[in-house]
Chain A
């Protein structure tokens, strides 16, 4: 039972990070109908932004504190939001009228570009770097089950961000424009929605979430390198598909599900090597029975 509870906690904490990343994938898909594969590398950039910011911000205070951690996360998110918008402006916007496949391939190109320039000595270098402590850490124990203060913070912030995102999408003009755009781009443009501005905004929002997820991911396992985004990126993409791509609660559900699956499969001696295999087999099963994902609605292609 203790074992089960402990794995549940491990899985939920990991799942919240996947959920944050999956939100970015699903938002961009909802608006533009394409998968932004460079999203996982924005996560990596977020972690590196925090890595470079923390010495400067922590010196003013006394070591890791809540204020410095908050500032680091906010600035890292802002930096990544700008990077996300830049990627969209430079790489995707010129191709918007082209077939979706062109943009998709470009996204893979951007992703590889970020990963491999990041590995160059003059940029970050390929070595794993020790990620600094951002928050004072404490282990909370219930019997033999232990919980990290960091994991609690991560889960809480994920819930808060999700609520914030829901507010933005449902109750602001930009959010309304995003929804309009996802229904029908041309009609939205005719109604006076500034398409370019809204798409930029979507990328900025998604990238900021990825940056937060990147910082959280690095807080859980404090060693960062330019390829660190690949695995959470892949898992979050799968999470978005399981939940129903384009559907925000679905992305969160998929993220949590995948985090739990990975943790429980990885915790079984003898099966731990197959954890990715198990997670992806379940993805295939879900998609066989619900091709639109758990919460997605089947779409009818208009001919």
Chain B
């Protein structure tokens, strides 16, 4: 008797769970899409750019009549640029809000936190700009609309060897960041394979303020160029202290640099530095031009002037477009179907270029190298993979 009651009870519980679960998924007249971004904290300008691009794309789609006759509802959560937060907010978006897909994050470390959760719940996740290869290796529900650090490392290694004429390079890595460690590794492999030499490898922790000890060591190794695969806050402080210590070797880095705060904090110390990124707002491409125009109309800087989008904004925009494209092709929002459609994305026109999702669920696209000149980011060259 007791077992029977228990059985009945558990059936009832499962039934209720299924009912409520079912309600959430089909729920309402909107398509709920979750976004997690670093709206505050150390990588705040990345999160905000990405969020503004994402929101702009959602607004565009909704203004044009929505998706499958329904409006997209974007639910945004802030990760505060902190470890641990991403898992919490993505869990909440999936289990409480019942979103059909997850968009985010910029930083690889935080995307890596959320990816296993999305994979387990079979909710497709699209990262706008996490470049660490491990992100999409998590599982077949995880996608990205940008290149990986394998490619970025290769292109930067070529750039250092050819454009900067560097034979000996020093690398200064943020050991707390998956992005930084990954990019440093792939750069090193390619640079050594091309006949270059890594003469000093030093580390710091994100959040550090004093880098003089390591910079002094780098300086005494006398490198031809210094590679800093890190995010803009620390990069700006490192450039300031490098300048104070009389370092003259050119400094360069990856897509973690592209933020107005790099110049705001670094001022004249970041002048002349180079970095690679996804796309440039001054590109002559017609799609980029239109996007820059609409973005500048929609978003303002803190001083009220129109805001020019950066690569993060364009990639944020692209995540929505790629997702909407996939949902449109499937005709519903079921996770596994949307996943298959996402994986089949081919020659899809986006702001940052034509996106084809490859077998590893990464996007292969051209890349640009920018230089800081007069406090602005100027296009040096565009490189096709």
State the A residues within 8 Å of B (CB): 2-3, 6-7, 10-11, 14, 119, 121, 125-128, 130, 137, 139, 141, 144, 146, 148, 217, 220-223, 225, 227-228, 231, 262-270, 272-273, 275
Distance (whole angstroms) from the CB of B258 to the closest CB of chain A: 16
B212/A222 in contact, CB under 8 A:
no
User: How would residues 147 to 165 of chain B score, 1 for a CB under 8 Å from any chain A CB and 0 otherwise?
Assistant: 0000000000000000000
Cβ 8 A contact of B204, one of A137, A148, A270, A272: A272
Closest B-chain residue to A128, C-beta based? B233
Chain B residues with CB under 8 A of A275: 213
Q: Can you pick out 24 interface pairs between chain A and chain B where the beta carbons lie within 8 Å of each other? A: A3-B217, A3-B220, A6-B245, A7-B213, A14-B210, A119-B40, A127-B41, A127-B44, A127-B45, A128-B261, A130-B267, A148-B244, A221-B237, A223-B209, A223-B233, A228-B209, A262-B213, A263-B212, A266-B202, A266-B213, A266-B217, A268-B217, A269-B201, A272-B204
Closest B-chain residue to A265, C-beta based? B213
B213/A269 in contact, CB under 8 A:
no
| 9 other A-B residue contacts (CB within 8 Å) besides A126-B80, A130-B267, A273-B203 | A3-B220, A7-B216, A126-B81, A139-B246, A221-B240, A222-B240, A223-B265, A227-B207, A267-B214
Closest A-chain residue to B48, C-beta based? A127
> Which of B210, B214, B217 counts the most A-chain CB atoms under 10 A from its CB?
B210
Closest A-chain residue to B199, C-beta based? A269
Distance (whole angstroms) from the CB of A229 to the closest CB of chain B: 10
A223/B210 in contact, CB under 8 A:
no
Cβ 8 A contact of A146, one of B200, B201, B203, B245: B245
Within 8 A of A (CB), among B48-67: none
- How many A-B residue contacts, CB cutoff 8 Å? 104
A231/B40 in contact, CB under 8 A:
no
Cβ 8 A contact of B212, one of A10, A126, A130: A10
Chain A residues with CB under 8 A of B246: 139, 141, 144, 146
**Interface on chain A toward B: helix, strand, loop, or mixed SS?**
mixed
Closest A-chain residue to B208, C-beta based? A231
Chain B residues with CB under 8 A of A7: 213, 216
User: How would residues 230 to 258 of chain B score, 1 for a CB under 8 Å from any chain A CB and 0 otherwise?
Assistant: 00010011001100111000000000000
Closest B-chain residue to A274, C-beta based? B203
Kindly state the separation between the CA atoms of A275 and B245 in the bound complex, as whole angstroms.
20
| B42 on interface, CB distance cutoff 8 Å | yes
Distance (whole angstroms) from the CB of B334 to the closest CB of chain A: 37
Chain A residues with CB under 8 A of B81: 126
Chain B residues with CB under 8 A of A11: 213
| B264 on interface, CB distance cutoff 8 Å | yes
| B117 on interface, CB distance cutoff 8 Å | no
Cβ 8 A contact of A270, one of B201, B208, B264: B201
Closest B-chain residue to A131, C-beta based? B265
| B341 on interface, CB distance cutoff 8 Å | no
Kindly state the separation between the CA atoms of A141 and B246 in the bound complex, as whole angstroms.
9
B201/A231 in contact, CB under 8 A:
no
Rank and list the top 3 A-B pairs by shortest CB-CB distance, nearest first.
A266-B213, A273-B203, A221-B209
Kindly state the separation between the CA atoms of A221 and B44 in the bound complex, as whole angstroms.
19
User: How would residues 171 to 190 of chain B score, 1 for a CB under 8 Å from any chain A CB and 0 otherwise?
Assistant: 00001000000000000000
